[in-house]
Structure 1
């Protein structure tokens, strides 16, 4: 079984490094970078990713932005998707204020004193390694800016999900997530026939600030498939 890692808004996949370090080297995995994806819509991105997957069985780990991509990918590949872990993610608009995401100037995603402070507050809950804030900005700077703009538009205009996910779903919920509302999580739960929510201490960038615990939850979800 291949594990497919789908990244957050930065889209590069570079922020998965600390998480992947927690897994055995023998794992068969692939980290998707949206820089290599031509499609702009959620469905288009999922179709392009699906076309690249030759493995019979896959397990999807979707961070933040990529929740809807994982949702669409499941409905394209159906029973080939054995399970999904959502990392502080969403399949419908994450909050009411997310409607404004399409108006966010990309230059505000460049590091300076104010933007680093805002990210440390809203992304990390003012706790943990401040160096991770720089890593997030470094990843954003390596992102294709036109595609980044498209991802912001997708978040702002995302319709509610209608279909159900039949494979096992685990949701890793940060204890303090300022970017994904509890209502967005509540919208995901009834769309999953087998839903398990696990709370982990930290802010929205939970895979970066608490990689060991997130990795253990992912391992547990995968191991549970074999029981």
Structure 2
């Protein structure tokens, strides 16, 4: 039996990878898992971030990129560089362009406002719905305190202005899109766009809020493993 691909997990807006702890534990029963992290002190755009992450990807083995939320355009950017070992993409509660209605207009407004986060309770409900336990709430708050707000805003603005659809359309890779049925942040149009643009894509819905991997870890991990098995990558 061929060796299973390494799973490279690209975190969302926080960039720390700390919110992947439970998912990584589920997946490392069958795969080697690498949780990536971004520089918390700076953000110079998706292309520059891809330059840094590309040096950390496996060089002599097959791998799969798994990206949530903010990391969707990053994963597509990395895939567009045609790394030889890349075998598939998984995008969860994510997007390749325009994650919100009037995204670019919203970005223009936010760019001229002071850097600040929404109130904590509102942010938690938006991301995790009512399913956030105390551990997840505490971890999220600690992470947000550890990252400069201007860095978080710069990442959010880049996401709102992202446009990786053309790159995705040119890829010849299997793609799995995981959609949370209770995701009030990323609408269903994002998944439909991935299905429309990708040459070979599947959509799988999970009863979850935006924090799909954190709140519905088990069904998300199962969906990923089943997808890789169907594609004979596991």
Both proteins in one fold, TM over 0.5: yes
- Which TM bucket (shorter chain)? 0.7 to 0.9
Describe how 1:20-99 pairs up with structure 2 within 5 A.
Answer: 20-24=24-28, 27-35=31-39, 40-53=44-57, 54-96=59-101, 98-99=103-104
Which residue of structure 2 lines up, in the alignment, with residue 223 of structure 1?
A: 229
Residues 92-142 of structure 1: per-residue CA shift (max 9 Å, x gap): 021125443544654425xxxxx2321233222323525423322222222
Report the TM-score when normalising by structure 2.
0.84
Q: Secondary structure at the match of 2:55?
A: helix
Which residue of structure 1 lines up, in the alignment, with residue 181 of structure 2?
A: 175
1:25, CA displacement in angstroms? 5.0
Which residue of structure 2 lines up, in the alignment, with residue 112 of structure 1?
A: none
Which residue of 199, 207, 221 corresponds with 1:201? 207
Report the TM-score when normalising by structure 1.
0.86
Q: Return 146-155 or 210-219, whichever deviates more.
A: 146-155
Instruction: Give me the whole-angstrom Cα distance separating, in 1, the residues matched to 2:149 and 2:129.
Output: 26
Which residue of structure 2 lines up, in the alignment, with residue 212 of structure 1?
A: 218
Instruction: Give me the whole-angstrom Cα distance separating, in 2, the residues matched to 1:35 and 1:55.
Output: 25
Instruction: Give me the whole-angstrom Cα distance separating, in 1, the residues matched to 2:43 and 2:159.
Output: 15
Which residue of 161, 165, 176 corresponds with 2:165? 161
Aligned-pair RMSD on alpha carbons?
A: 2.3
Count, aligned residues: 222
Q: Please, which runs of 5 or more residues in structure 1 have no aligned partner?
A: 110-114
